[in-house]
Amino acid sequence: MTKIYGAPPIEQINILRGDWASASVRFRHLNNFGRAILKKISKNFRFTSYLISKTKKYAKKMVRDLKILEGKKLSKFSDKKIFKIYSLLVEDYRLFCFFSFPIWLWGEKAIFREVKKILQQRKINRREYNKILNILITPSKPSFILQEEIEILKLAQKIKNIPFSKIKIKIRNLVNKFGFMIYDYRGPKVKKEKDYLREIKKISKKVNLKEEIKEKNNFYKKLKIDQKNLMKNLKLTQKEKSIIFALQDAAILQDIRKYYNSYFNFKTEILIKEMAKRLKIHFQLVRYILPHEMKEIWQEKKVDKKILKILKARTKLCVFDIKNGKSKIYLGKEMNPYLVLEEKSSQVEKVIKGVVASAGKISGRVKVIKTKEEIKNIKRGEILVTPMTTPDFAPALKKCIAIVTDEGGITCHAAIVSRELGIPCIIGTKIATKVLKDGDFVEVDANKGMVRVIKRGRKNKTKNF
């Protein structure tokens, strides 16, 4: 860690609550890491490009090694061979995370502060500030979600003009390239051929399909021109440009990490299920066994009642502590010192503050999504309020008019996608899902980073209002 990033490893506390995770680090450690990253960037303008290159290198190795599992009957593999494959893939994933994780997770805030300082020195009009900021920090290449959407739109445009056999081949390619993206960490959802075909048929009925494709294709062409003109007009130095590019790269690293994280977890499901079968436990429980624990459990080939109880508890609520490269999981009373890190809130707060991820201002009804099973419940024109968004939120994100999250930084999934969709987004509020309820009518002012409750939903009125 110190050799690559110029800073010692950071202790990170992850509170895992069902489908969701929130991360905390000591303020001093975060500042030290941020300063180290800025120093690296000032010495080497291409430092974050180097991290992207290394991330892609280990992503390719991971994909290559995962082919070991394709078309194989793992039931015929010996215990020794199964564990050897498991250990190989764990190491692949560790190296992939080493280069893709730290910059956006720990370095992003420091880089973002520097970008804001750069703009503040130019004394930009307050009304134009967030608009200019959004243009400068948006990566100049489309996210994987936008790439998928453009390919779907193109197929929908062609569906009536080419043989269905060719459409099926192209849909199969979509499944292989993007279908796993909604899997995330635990799955089991993936998009299948029938899902894509249903979506393509529905989209093909649009009358303005050609214009929509053109608009999405032109988004990044226009963005590059706007970024170039802004940098020229603001008279940015090479050092200042490198800091802005570093923040763009952090967002790219986040997108790459999300994509290959889902790919890895989807592809290893077959291995996890085989290991679970031999250990006689549910396959999702295997995902909550740390690698050093697995080594001992695999030797015994037995998960006793005590360990089984611990694993089941971990799936509901646990604290995952990473310190000096070593991991430890806390349960029960051991979690108490860490659970105080979670933000407390008052149910009667009328104004919620967060970080502007995508500028804009809009009012509408709230839909709170707290579990991934609820994603399908969002209706067109609602404001999505959730702990954080992940790739499986894609259908919901296309329906909502604004996004508000508890977690996340300026390069998080919600931030990237909201800028591509052109909808207001406020992230890192900490308390939005605790304060807001379904049906609340709110104003999302993503120019100021504020969510204001205009009227509580009928079921949510309290005596305090």
Task: Report pLDDT for 342.
Answer: 63
Backbone angles phi, psi at 349, to 5 degrees: -65, 135
What pLDDT shows up at residue 125?
Answer: 84
Cα four-point dihedral sign 296, 300, 306, 312: positive
Domain boundaries, the chain: 2-122+241-330, 144-233, 351-460
Asked whether the beta carbons of 337 and 406 are under 8 A apart, the reply is no
Q: What is the structure's pLDDT at 19?
A: 76
**Architecture per CATH, 351-460:** 3-Layer(bba) Sandwich (3.50)
The answer for 42, left when phi > 0, alpha when psi is -120 to 50, beta otherwise, is alpha
Token pair of 6 as six digits:
């110029």
User: Whole-angstrom Cα distance, residue 237 to residue 249?
Assistant: 18
Confidence (pLDDT) at 86: 98
Is 305 exposed, middle or buried (CB count within 10 Å of its CB: 0-12, 13-18, 19+)? exposed
Q: Which residues, at least 6 apart from 131, have a Cβ–Cβ distance to it below 8 Å?
A: 359
The pLDDT score that the predictor gives to residue 461 is 47
pLDDT of 58-94, one tens digit each? 999 999 999 999 988 999 999 999 999 999 999 999 9
| pLDDT value at residue 275 | 97
**Cα dihedral 6, 8, 14, 20 in deg (nearest 10):** 10
The stretches in the chain having pLDDT less than 70 are: 341-348, 458-465
In 10 A of CB 382, how many CB atoms? 21
The two structure tokens encoding residue 174 = 């979509």
pLDDT given at position 206:
85
Torsion of CA 72, 78, 79, 84, to 10 degrees: -70
Neighbours of 60 (CB within 10 A): 12
Residue 39 to residues 29, 44, 110, 220, Cα–Cα distance (Å): 15, 9, 11, 30
Contact 428, 354 (CB under 8 A): yes
pLDDT digits (tens, 9 = 90+) for 180-216: 999 988 888 899 999 999 999 999 988 889 999 999 9
